A and B are shown apart, each in its own frame.
Chain A
């Protein structure tokens, strides 16, 4: 029997669940697949509705972790096996080698001296990263990671003599005793290559909404300047294609909750950076639930932002790396063909479990959302359960922490 709790996933929901449970006095293990905590919100430039930086909220969470000896963080880690039952689980966790030591020295210069590169996962392919890297300045843990696959031969030689790196660190496995499990495996941006009518990711200067977040981020590929990836030029007119993959039975059979708000936020980014840029939003419904209505009103009042109710049928490559959109104005019944400097696909969120399996007894629906597990003492939260924004993910994580604590209390 154990009163410890396992949290699978170190994004915002998982962090919240873990910290809230630990502050109630429970030992908590966070198992995060990537090298750092923070999940998708770490990639965002600002949160709607107040346009505040996500790293501010993450910093609070990280401070709470730093101060709490009950929280055990395992990064580059994945659950690979489970035995036992509710209240008394044994979880096997595989940990990949980070190859840099805890409390590591500053590797900035060493990293910049390397020449091997690979497309940055964190910047969604908009930049290249080195083999020794730290994806974000507020990273937790504040450590680099060494990905030897990306090193060139010369890099290998450069690093061979460095005694601060553990080039030969091996993968390892640990086992944890826990009484309950919170699953917070979150989401990923829907793969645009599935959207063949929208250019399938091949039209230059047609980016996804998450890529736009990276372009707007001060530590993104352009230091926060929203420009065309092809030539670094300020776009004079930009189109947003809402529901790119969402609300579509051939792709995501649900509404992704955040994309309307994300686009409204992006309109505000553009209005601030490039007040002259003309923006058109093609939408089915503008979903600004609750008090978010205020953001919708604010954006609707912007002189350079226009809204067209209608679905975009096609995005194609135009002259001079422009993007050509074919759409229908549903109100006027008109077919439109329009040219834009840049197009942003408001791609939806797909639950991570749509394409990955967890070795845990949790049922998922045809879209990959978790539909049960409670009877086994396994509680899903955040976007593993349904598409949510950050506030509701935090609520969901807190609620899941309660259910997990109810399961293990008194043990």
Chain B
């Protein structure tokens, strides 16, 4: 708790005719001894030394800087005490408009509504600081060892790179030997500049390097039985042939790769029934084994035949199912209730889509295989590559060009409309080709693409011993890939300390797998060290606050453990939450969930925001002085959008008061009650988009907030307050020109509703 606060006003950045001296006087009057000093500085940016001196001489434990948004050059103001900002520029003066809606023309004296707005923000800022304190970090002694699950190309690369960071590595491989899918690849596509020529994989060198490395412990024929604990102090239970082994580890890299798509999906193209039709993976094996090789091979990338057949089949099955269900509906007995929760059942997410997602890997792969075939047969063979789109993106175009010039490899766009027996081999019927006519191609062998199905679509790979279950959440959103919606941050799995790399995350060629493995190693090391320092990782990196539980008041309702987007909370038999600070991302969704308000952060808590709400001067006369609307704005997107709206001189109703929150997930219903009992007429929750295309930085926060709205509405109804007084609105960070209208629209709806019935009570 701060008890000696210095309040500084940046005259260069307030403007608008605001009577700053009055703000300082009013704050000093209100808070008495809490405020040690108030200063009006002509230019805050030039007063850093002065503030440092004040801190030393006056023993300040908090510095409140009133002026521009906290997003403007805050790094100039790093002091060893609590530092916070009051945004009087972007979200006050610059975005102000008169209560009658007319534009504000700055003059010598700010209108009363603007002066009142600024004063509310200053008082809210002091209240926030009073109720906050600098957190102690929850540092743990982190085990400097990284678990790599999967000993294929990605896993081997990750293990070697992690050992080069001076970390010990435990490598778990399901198979009897290391190498994974690459063992069946005769050669690799280009692995480095100039990206023109195929490369030897030199897989054995990689395997040898791992096996000879004293930092790396390899478990073969082993799988994860359980992962328990938290980053820095995980215990991996590894099921080996000789029983279960336990290893202490810090963080995890998931590199379990892929399994080939079930051949039933390509059965309409003859796979499984015609021995002269194989997949690329199988053809790779033939080349590695050095079997007698066919002379004429068609590499068919166009799999429309199979796609159409599968779609038709699915349609028929759906119809049949519908009919069956209609028949059964009456006979069906209701499911028994009150039984124990069933064991986790993994949904099989394998589908034809995995083949389509493997398009680039297969386009490059077919070039590689065709080339190897030519080489192995001394150019006595002829390869035909038939494609719809040759998906060889980026720099690998150079390899494609080289293959186009290669004797013995012929390529054309073609719609492959049938594959049938004929002559001494197989006939591939080709239409809409680039040769100006349709043709039947007679070959000895047809090679179809391989669908790379991520292992996470088929089985539980990590086996988390987590309250929220053994699997990654929401895998179905990503067709089973261990991935997220983050475009700018590829390593999110929603299980802190576990980083997916390689084909388990998306289908990749070997060069990209290596890059991905390196990135995952960096993240794994970083998370391990963060656990050791007690700080958060992305997106609130370096945040050393963490949720503190007052268990005395906990009623074991389990909401926090269920709602945490990262599964950070486990529980004991009674249902008391067990925090794992190193899994926590500090979004505050847990305390948003808690009906007993037993969870808090040192620098962000229920009482703090409640106190800010209570600092707002709510006028008694709704008609004369207008309504008051509280905006709880997500600090990640909504708050910057409001800042930018202000910068662009978009204005919104001066009756609004904005409080930034870490995530809408952290909004506790009590704040809405606080606002209503204070006399606010409406509460607007402004946060990120949710749903399948979510933009929420904590993935589920805004969605969870939306789900809670139902309860909030019921509570308001019980109190005799119209539930329309609380609304959640979605805003993207670039909707700065729209957000003022969204706010004004809400204020208009509130005005139409009339005053909050609690006003003045």
Contact = CB atoms under 8 A, between A and B. Distances in A.
Interface in B62-113: 68, 71-76, 78, 89, 94
A137 B507 contact: no
Interface stretch (A18-26, A116-124, A202-210): A18-26
Contacts of A247: 397
A137 to B, nearest CB: 4
Contacts of B68: 103, 106
B204 interface: no
Interface in B541-555: 541-543
B488 A69 contact: no
Interface stretch (B18-26, B479-487, B566-574, B716-724): B479-487
Contact of A255 (B15, B161, B397, B478): B397
Given A23-B542, A369-B395, A402 B488 contact: no
A108 B525 contact: no
A386 B94 contact: no
Interface string A265-293: 00000000000000000000111111101
Interface string B31-68: 00000000000001100000000000000000000001
B434 A293 contact: no
B410 interface: no
A260 B360 CA distance: 14
A330 B434 contact: yes
Interface residues of A, number: 88
A12 interface: yes
B732 A53 contact: yes
Contacts, number: 240
A205 B360 CA distance: 34
A132 B171 CA distance: 57
A66 interface: yes
Main secondary structure on A side of the interface with B: loop
A399 B518 contact: yes
B734 interface: yes
B740 to A, nearest CB: 13
Contact of B541 (A67, A102, A217, A390): A67
A315 to B, nearest CB: 23
A102 B522 contact: no
Interface in B516-553: 516, 518-519, 521-523, 525-526, 529-530, 537-539, 541-543
Contacts of A391: 487-488, 490
B488 A57 contact: yes
A395 B516 contact: yes
B357 interface: yes
A337 to B, nearest CB: 21
Contact of B436 (A25, A51, A333): A333
Given A24-B526, A101-B45, A369-B395, A60 B516 contact: no
A403 to B, nearest CB: 7
A66 B75 contact: yes
Contacts of A371: 193-194
Contact of B489 (A23, A60, A369): A60
Interface in A326-379: 330-331, 333, 365, 369-372
Given A289-B359, A290-B507, A394-B488, A143 B73 contact: yes
Contacts of B519: 394-396, 398-399, 402
A104 B413 CA distance: 58
B649 interface: yes
B413 A309 contact: yes
Interface of B is mostly: loop
A400 to B, nearest CB: 8
A256 interface: yes
Contacts of B523: 20, 398
B522 A106 contact: no
B736 interface: yes
Contacts of B389: 285-288
A22 to B, nearest CB: 9
A401 B522 contact: yes
Contacts of A133: none
Given A247-B397, A293-B359, A57 B72 contact: no
B159 to A, nearest CB: 13
Contacts of B487: 47, 50, 52, 57, 390-391, 394
Given A333-B436, A365-B194, A387 B693 contact: no
B543 to A, nearest CB: 8
Interface of B: 12-13, 15, 44-45, 68, 71-76, 78, 89, 94, 161, 164-166, 193-195, 353, 356-360, 387, 389-398, 401, 413, 432, 434, 436, 478-479, 481, 485-491, 506-507, 512, 515-516, 518-519, 521-523, 525-526, 529-530, 537-539, 541-543, 636-637, 640, 644, 647-649, 693, 695, 697, 732-737
Given A285-B391, A287-B389, 4 more contacts: A219-B734, A254-B398, A285-B392, A291-B479
15 contacts: A16-B488, A50-B485, A53-B732, A56-B488, A56-B636, A60-B636, A64-B538, A68-B541, A105-B13, A218-B736, A256-B394, A285-B389, A287-B390, A293-B359, A402-B519
